[in-house]
Homo-oligomer: A and B are copies of this chain.
Amino acid sequence: MAPIALNGTMNEATFNKPRAAQPATEETGESIRLAARSGIFTGQTSGSAPTYVQANLIAMPARYAGDFRLLCQRNPVPCPLLAESEAIGSWSALKSHVAGVTGRQIAENVDLRHDFPRYMVYESGVLTKSQCLSIEAEWTEEHVGFLIGCSFSFESALAAAGLVPPHTAHGRNVPMYRTSLPLCPAGVFRNSTYVVSMRLYREQDIERIRDITRPYVATHGEPIDWGWDAVTRLGIKDVTQPEFGDSPVLSDGALLLRDVSTNGEDVIPVFWGCGVTPQEAVRRAALHGTVLGHAPGHMIVLDIRDWDILPERSS
């Protein structure tokens, strides 16, 4: 499967192409990680190993780690912090930020440098490598890796309620957008804005969608906004042209077109906080040194399950 460009979207020619090869039977978080580590699996992970929690990566020089933790604390909806390197430089052991769950329970056999299918590399805020399969060459003893919750984690709950996200039904990546909605600044991280993911749903289902995703506070929780007027409120330039991921599809698989025709379907866009937000924050802060992130949509899949991070279980 060709890498999905950071700023591009799949065109219609690639639209019906199935997702990249991946273990077909009894996927687990570990089996997906091992497949990514070995280079066999290089695709996006929406729908992979259902019910296993997925996470975003941002890794940065340790001198910025305190400000970054505070950024997450002040902006928990786009930046829900699940775990970080157990010690500065560690890529194989995690310290948990989820109450009642240990770092080893989150992911035991783990290598933050290889276990995401694809990565991005930033030097002083400028993207210098895109969609690479490993960051072993870039990771140093000064790096601290952070795992941020991912909205893919509640997609199985939506599917179980008959609300299959359109992109997963068609093996595509979720559309993600830059917005003008500001983050609360924290130290070096200022002038940053939310990145959001979007799923098209029928307006009549919005309260069920809110109810189902609400408990997933560690993976963005309920939507931050919805409806066609939300596109303007969020400062999204063109809902048919996401900055990350694939163009949005309707439930029948048709592309949402530029004139936002919905072929008679009474659908609205529903927006959630997105774990690509930290990469935008790093870019805007122009941090000195090497910062490492996952390629949007290409997540690490963990050992913990959706229900392990619901508040009823963790408090």
Q: Could you tell me which A residues sit within 8 Å of B by CB distance?
A: 70, 73-74, 76-77, 181-182, 184-187, 210, 214, 217, 221-225, 233, 273
Contact = CB atoms under 8 A, between A and B. Distances in A.
Contacts of A181: 182
Number of this chain's copies in the assembly equals 2
A74 B76 contact: yes
A214 B182 contact: no
10 contacts: A70-B214, A70-B221, A74-B221, A76-B76, A77-B184, A182-B225, A184-B221, A185-B222, A185-B225, A186-B222
Contact of A73 (B70, B217, B225): B217
Contacts of A70: 214, 217, 221
A224 B184 contact: yes
Contacts of A77: 74, 184
A205 to B, nearest CB: 16
A120 to B, nearest CB: 26
Contact of A76 (B73, B223, B225): B73
Counting from the closest, the 4 A-B pairs by CB-CB distance are: A77-B184, A184-B224, A74-B77, A73-B217
A93 B242 CA distance: 50
A185 B74 contact: no
Contacts of A233: 182
